[in-house]
Structure 1
Amino acid sequence: MAQAPLRPATATTAPVRLATLGTAPVRPATGADAAALHALSEPFMRSGELRVRTAADYRAAVGQFLLVPGPPSAGPDGCVALRRLPAEPGHPAAGLLHNLCVRPERQGTGLGSRLLAALLDTAARGGLRTVHAATTGSGELFRRFGFVPIPAALAPRSWAAGLDPARGSEVYRRILAEPGRAVGQARPDLHPRAISQTR
């Protein structure tokens, strides 16, 4: 049975409020966004920062994406996707964060943080208990949002079995709704750097 795509909370109910002055809000992608999401991601696929996916893959998975719109002629400024993983022992409600990317000229402006906060809120509201990710980057953005590095053997097998060891990705997990920290709340003791690209 196909699962409905996870959708973010509306602006009136979302508990996470990051500064958005002068910027477009994070919104769910629609079918009309699939080609633009693929175009945004292509340079990151060519550099090896993202796993190679076809335009058809983006059309099939468009319901998993959140994006920050950019100028109409340029497409989105950034995007991220959340896929619900099949339930398995030890991982009854896990999600996969993937395809986090921000247009190079918009990196360092907080877009990655906004996308990640919206994704974590979406995951929690969708009933997920954990979110997993793999990155070939520094992982600093993930750590600021409460992700911790874990051995791939502790990640859901349905996903971890497909990791390419040649890519050298580090695996991260975020347990949602930790005591004392709101979903999507960054750790104030760490500072942002370049956005880590994800599988």
Structure 2
Amino acid sequence: MEHIAYNQEVTALLAACDLPVVDLRVNGDVCFFGLRQEGDLLGVIGIEVHGDIGLLRSLAIPVAHRGKGLGQQLVAYAEEWAIRSGLKALYLLTTTAGELFKRLGYAELSRSQAPKAITETPQFAGLCPASSSFMFKELSASNS
């Protein structure tokens, strides 16, 4: 697992997984982490920091590598980083991975319960469809 820069390789993986990239840019506000094997990017996840909370986003794993626990590893690493960085909670929007996030301790919320910092993100404001599940998890050192 490694901290990775946002680049064309990450863009290609996110696009292949039908995840939005229009709001991402090099040296942007999203910290990315990735898993590599023999130089190939097997998965990526990002955290967009907003004060003491974060928007967990861009969890992407190529179809050929799904079902091997990589998503769980990426989420766990991102949560550990968030805790070390002083974040108190992570929020996310998903159309396809709600069950995974429930198994990892995330709870569904109504969009009306979203903190202002999250509602102002492009992800929340329009990039993710209104039908997306909105979820959150409180973080503490005991979560890691």
Q: TM-score, normalization: structure 1?
A: 0.63
Whether the 8 Å contact between 1:35 and 1:59 is mirrored in structure 2 is no
SS at match of 1:134: strand
CA distance in 1, matches of 2:36, 2:77: 14
2:119 alignment counterpart: 160
CA distance in 2, matches of 1:168, 1:39: 25
Partner of residue 42 from structure 2, selected from 70, 74, 77: 77
Matches within 5 A, 1:23-172: 26-30=1-5, 34-45=7-18, 50-53=19-22, 57-61=24-28, 64-72=31-39, 75-85=40-50, 87=51, 93-161=52-120, 162=122, 163=124, 164=126, 166-172=129-135
Percent of paired sites with the same residue: 23
Deviation at 1:60, TM superposition (A): 2.9
1:173 aligns with 2:136: yes
State the AA in 1 paired with 2:3: P
Deviation at 1:130, TM superposition (A): 0.6
Q: TM-score, normalization: structure 2?
A: 0.85
State the AA in 1 paired with 2:135: Y
Deviation at 1:167, TM superposition (A): 4.5
State the AA in 1 paired with 2:138: I
CA distance in 2, matches of 1:138, 1:119: 16
State the AA in 1 paired with 2:92: A
State the AA in 1 paired with 2:106: F
Which of structures 1 and 2 has the larger relative contact order (alpha carbons within 8 angstroms, sep 6+)? 1
Q: Report how many residues are paired.
A: 140
State the AA in 2 paired with 1:53: V
Which runs of 5 or more structure 1 residues have no equivalent in the other structure? 1-25, 88-92, 185-199
Q: Give runs of ≥4 in structure 1 deviating > 4 Å.
A: none
Whether the 8 Å contact between 2:17 and 2:62 is mirrored in structure 1 is no
